[in-house]
Amino acid sequence: MDERQLKDILDAEEIPPPSDNARKEAMNLALAAFDDAQQENSKIRQGFSILGRLTGRSTPRPRRRLMERKYLVGGMATAAIALLTVVTYDTVNPYRDVVQPPTETVSTATPTGQTSTDVAVATGGRKTEVKEQDARSGADQEAFRPNAPAQAKQDDATRALKDTARAEPAKNPKPAPKPSEEFRSAPGDKKTGSVLDQSRTTPGIGGGGILGLVSPHTGTKNKAPGVASEALRQRVQKSERVSRPPVGDRIAPQYESVGRDQFQSVQENEIKRVADAPVSTFSSDVDTASYSFMRRMLNRGVLPQKNAVRVEELINYFDYAYPLPETREKPFQPTVTVTDSPWKKGNKLIHIGVKGYDIEPAEKPRSNLVFLLDVSGSMRAADKMPLMVNSMKLLLDTLSPEDTVAIVVYAGAAGTVLEPTKIADKHKILAALDNLSAGGSTAGAAGVRQAYALAEGNFDKKAVNRVILATDGDFNVGITNREELKGFVERKRKSGVFLSVLGFGQGNLNDHLMQTLAQNGNGVAAHIDTLNEARKVLVDEATSTLFPIAKDVKLQVEFNPKTVAEYRLIGYETRALKREDFRNDKVDAGDIGAGHTVTAIYEITPTGNGTAAIGDSRYQQSDASAKKMQTSFGDEYAFLKIRYKQPDQTTSTLITTPIKTDSAGASTEATWATAVAAFGQIVKGGKYTGDFTYDDVIAMARSAKGDDAFGYRAEFINLVRLAKSASALPQR
């Protein structure tokens, strides 16, 4: 095959954009050929002797022959690589149909005092990524490589073509073309120089240079240098017969882990006798992370693990039409409803609803926010890094021009990407977000420390000072102990800087750590599984997410032993408090944002109906004090107490209301909350729901769907249908 035939083969093939791996392989082969020639050249002296230099005559040397051989070797290598790119990339590479945005990777020094590890930051308008070695074992790396057999075939083909290209000059008697003809630029291109030289000086070789055989200046094809051998032609014909992988396998490589999600292991609340424990105390909870994670798993056809289901978060995911308080001085107006239990005849359900005061737009204080963004390697997935960046952009649209935003990122180390910047200069914030990239380990503790320092340095007493942590919670560098991080956040909240946590991704989600940080940082915890969820949390509920109207909100219910024999709190296992904690203002509890609703449900067994799960105590019945209590308040099931603090105060305020036995009346909101509570309990195993089924949940939810402006309640009904056929474990 001569040069013209080789050119015809190249012209007949449509050259796709090469991948990063192919680009690197091509560059390595070309440089190897060039270095071989350079090493041989270093053994030969200059072509002019001392006498020749004085007389102007040259001494015959093999210099010209060596240069001709060097160009021939380089030309053959370039031609071989071009064919390799056309054939093996199109037949073996499973990602050839995936278009990925170009990225620029350059080295940079880490911030002063930081280690030289990988941090992806925006510096000078360019992406900066300092990579560190993967800690996975060799077996894990092989398992992580997509389509490993196909990659092995490609490597074998590359080595064979490389050997052929190097051996070809010895077999080919045809003299090498002159350099001026061999590496001439395309017609109309005023710049000259070899393809190799152009590839070394042109950023982003993938679009031109040696791989695409396209001039980086004109975009036109260059002449294919060198001559292909018969063996190379046969390899081309053989490669055309290689079958392509299925379209479903053409997925861009990304970080993915399965079964490493971490949730706090808790025991479901048990039935308690009023005679033994008449008082129940717990902290308020407005988090919604459990619901979003459950939805993610069900949409994948898998039931979530039991510890991932926190029933109170499922209930409080939805908004309820409870009466609004009239003033901010008294930010709560409790709503109590008593209904029949749908899963146990004779039992009752006590619904306690609280809706926080909703501030007007003119009353909103200024926001001083610090985005603490995880850019480690575990965030390199479509449902993590890109979703996180877009979520932050949605939040920016809700802020006022005078609000400020700073950005701190962390991977192997932490760094400040953007100093506090007003929303009036939003283009600077957007540019910093767009220039982030993921890679490396996760020094989460260093990032938390630096974010708090930045927030405190820009602290404003009249503003909301908050750190928003966006992560999958996979801390693996520096301080990783959950209790130590909890203690740090507890101390920092006293400074007036609060912490909210947004979780992303699934497979290695550390929900336990994120819940710990949010609960002790006076913030909320949410799981962002879709951009629509980001809009719900950061746009529709922005005021409730950012602006607290009350902190350390505690609820306590004292049951009347004359009317109630047993009770059980549904959910709130991770929010339980001791009885003496209720009046102790030093004990931290949950916060409620503007317009937030909190719903709690107790299942009670009234006295005298014969359905009590725990028998009476022989000796406690003769206690005089117990008999005295049973002779009063016969029209009450229980007595509700709520303690809270204003955001800028340290002393709590008490709100009380009795729960009457005639508070019966199944409202639409109470029925909906009951359906959600039933579903959560069934997913966790249905220990107390008897024969109540998913179909019963669907029927109850459909009857109480009511006004569903955003479709959240309709979505819940579909999730219940998915749960009926979901598997217990993921497929991989």
pLDDT tens digits, residue range 585-606?
A: 999 999 999 989 999 999 999 9
Domains of the chain by residue range = 3-95+148-249, 272-359+548-725, 362-546
| Gap between the Cα atoms of 324 and 355, Å rounded | 6
Residue 93 is predicted with a pLDDT of: 42
Fill in the amino acid letter for 692. Answer: F
User: What percent helix, strand, coil does the chain show, rounded to 5?
Assistant: 40, 20, 45
More confident residue, 674 or 106: 674
State the chain's maximal CA–CA distance in angstroms: 130
Residue 142 is predicted with a pLDDT of: 38
| Gap between the Cα atoms of 97 and 243, Å rounded | 15
Give yes or no for residue 500 having a pLDDT over 60.
yes
In the predicted model, what is the mean pLDDT of the chain?
A: 74
**Which pLDDT band holds residue 666 (cuts at 50, 70, 90)?**
confident
User: How many angstroms separate the first and last alpha carbons of the chain?
Assistant: 49
The full DSSP string for 293-339 is HHHHHHHTTBPPPGGG--HHHHHTTS---PPPPS-SSS-B--EEEEE
What average pLDDT does range 465-472 have in this prediction?
Answer: 92
| Gap between the Cα atoms of 512 and 265, Å rounded | 9
Report which secondary-structure segment, H or E, holds 72: helix 63-91
Which three-class secondary structure state does DSSP give residue 37? Answer: helix
CA angle 386, 387, 392 (to 5 degrees): 100
Residue 476 is predicted with a pLDDT of: 62
**Residue 691 structure tokens:** 């024969």
The H-assigned helical ranges of 95-173 are 138-144, 148-171
pLDDT tens digits, residue range 430-461?
A: 999 999 988 877 777 888 999 999 999 999 98
Cβ-based neighbour number of residue 414 at 10 Å: 24
Q: Which range in 8-12, 28-32, 109-113 is most confidently predicted, on average pLDDT?
A: 28-32
Span of 196-205, 325-334, 400-409, 705-714 with lowest mean pLDDT: 196-205
Give yes or no for residue 718 having a pLDDT over 90.
yes
More confident residue, 256 or 672: 672
For residue 660, the number of C-alpha atoms closer than 13 Å in the C-beta half-sphere is 5
Q: Which range in 239-253, 447-461, 661-675, 679-693 is most confidently predicted, on average pLDDT?
A: 679-693
| Gap between the Cα atoms of 606 and 65, Å rounded | 105
Q: Which of the listed CATH numbers 3.50.50.60, 3.40.50.1450, 3.40.50.1820, 2.60.40.1230 matches domain 272-359+548-725?
A: 2.60.40.1230
Considering the domain 362-546 in this protein, what is its CATH number? 3.40.50.410
**Residue 447 structure tokens:** 């990032």
Give yes or no for residue 503 having a pLDDT over 70.
yes
What percent of the chain clears pLDDT 70, i.e. is strictly above it? 62
pLDDT tens digits, residue range 256-311?
A: 555 678 888 889 999 999 999 999 999 998 899 999 999 999 999 999 999 999 99
Residue among 12, 77, 83, 22 at smallest CA distance from 206 = 22
What average pLDDT does range 638-652 have in this prediction?
Answer: 93
Residue 662 is predicted with a pLDDT of: 82
Residue 10 is predicted with a pLDDT of: 64
More confident residue, 235 or 380: 380
Span of 42-46, 402-406, 680-684 with lowest mean pLDDT: 42-46
Give yes or no for residue 131 having a pLDDT over 50.
no
Cβ-based neighbour number of residue 116 at 10 Å: 13
The H-assigned helical ranges of 467-530 are 482-493, 511-520
**Left, alpha or beta for 726 (phi > 0: left; psi -120 to 50: alpha)?**
beta
pTM, 2 dp:
0.66
Give yes or no for residue 215 having a pLDDT over 80.
no
Cβ atoms of 642 and 284 within 8 Å: the answer is no
Cβ atoms of 385 and 127 within 8 Å: the answer is no
Residue 487's beta-bridge partner residues?
A: none
Q: How far is CA 666 from CA 79, 336, 533, in A?
A: 79, 11, 30
Q: What is the 3-state secondary structure (H, E, C) of 413-435?
A: CEEEEEEEEEHHHHHHHHHHHHC
Span of 391-400, 490-499, 599-608 with lowest mean pLDDT: 490-499
Cβ atoms of 458 and 368 within 8 Å: the answer is yes
**Residue 387 structure tokens:** 């979703």
Residue 232 is predicted with a pLDDT of: 40
Residue 84 is predicted with a pLDDT of: 52
**Which pLDDT band holds residue 566 (cuts at 50, 70, 90)?**
very high
Residue 576 is predicted with a pLDDT of: 95
Radius of gyration of the chain, Cα coordinates, nearest whole angstrom: 34
Residue 165 is predicted with a pLDDT of: 46
Residue among 697, 695, 670 at smallest CA distance from 681 = 697
Which three-class secondary structure state does DSSP give residue 39? Answer: helix
Residue 545 is predicted with a pLDDT of: 84
Q: Which range in 166-180, 234-248, 365-379 is most confidently predicted, on average pLDDT?
A: 365-379
Residue 332 is predicted with a pLDDT of: 86
Residue among 406, 597, 401 at smallest CA distance from 497 = 406
What average pLDDT does range 710-722 have in this prediction?
Answer: 96
Which three-class secondary structure state does DSSP give residue 169? Answer: helix
Q: Between the CA atoms of 291, 297, 301 and 306, what dihedral angle is there, to the nearest 10 degrees?
A: -80
DSSP tag of 537: I
More confident residue, 658 or 226: 658
What average pLDDT does range 467-479 have in this prediction?
Answer: 78
Residue 72 is predicted with a pLDDT of: 55
Residue 642 is predicted with a pLDDT of: 96
| Gap between the Cα atoms of 637 and 604, Å rounded | 9
User: What letters, b where the CB count within 10 A reaches 16 and e where it falls short, cover 17-54?
Assistant: bbbeebbebbbebbeebbeebeeeeeeeeeebeeeeee
The full DSSP string for 2-18 is -HHHHHHHHHHS-PPPP
**Which pLDDT band holds residue 543 (cuts at 50, 70, 90)?**
confident
Give yes or no for residue 370 having a pLDDT over 70.
yes
| Gap between the Cα atoms of 176 and 174, Å rounded | 6
Residue with tokens 């909703």, as numbered in its chain: 358
Nearest 5°: phi and psi at 541?
Answer: -110, 30
**Which pLDDT band holds residue 378 (cuts at 50, 70, 90)?**
confident
pLDDT tens digits, residue range 51-107?
A: 344 344 444 444 445 455 555 556 665 655 655 554 444 444 433 333 334 433 333
